[in-house]
Amino acid sequence: MNFKDSLNYLIKHARYSRSETGISESTLEDASVVVEQFVKYLPEGFTSDQLPNMRHIEEYTDFCDDKEKMIDFNNLTKEEFLNSYSYITEKEYNLTRIKQSKTQ
């Protein structure tokens, strides 16, 4: 069962399985409507079971102080570097390049 199928399964059972959890039918229906709207806006054919990408909450920063990364930064192309450090964003790469160019 994939993510989208799981959500649809839960919607169906929240609506049609009167549980003994003490949750009112109107609350279950309200929750079902919200989740149904979420499912409606998933891309067509969405079946990914991977974890969703986390929204980047912290401010983007450079990594000029990381000596090991900077060795690779100076020896690899941008594409090679970003592929090697998948957790580093292009924005962080660019901020590092800008800061480095100002110090030279």
HSE (side-chain half, CA atoms, 13 Å) at 104: 7
Residues 6+ apart with CB under 8 A from 7: 35, 38, 39
Tokens linked to 101: 């160019």
Tell me whether residue 50 is in a domain: no
**46 found inside a domain:** no
Digitized pLDDT (tens) for each residue of the chain, 104 residues in all: 677 778 888 888 777 766 666 777 778 788 888 888 887 777 666 665 555 554 455 678 899 999 999 999 999 999 999 999 988 989 999 999 999 999 87
Instruction: Determine, yes or no, domain membership for 80.
Output: yes
- The predicted pLDDT at position 76 comes to 96
Domain of residue 83, residue span: 67-103
User: If you ran DSSP here, which 8-state letter would residue 97 be given?
Assistant: H
Q: What is the pLDDT of residue 20?
A: 63
Q: Is residue 20 part of a domain?
A: yes
- Helix (H) or strand (E) holding 45, with range, is none
Name the token pair of 76. Answer: 């690899």
The pLDDT assigned to 25 comes to 77
Structure tokens at 72: 């690779």
- What's residue 28's pLDDT? 77
Q: How many domains does the chain have?
A: 2
Q: Is the pTM of this model over 0.85?
A: no
Please count the residues of the chain: 104
pLDDT of residue 104: 75
- The CA distance from 87 to 70, in Å, is 15
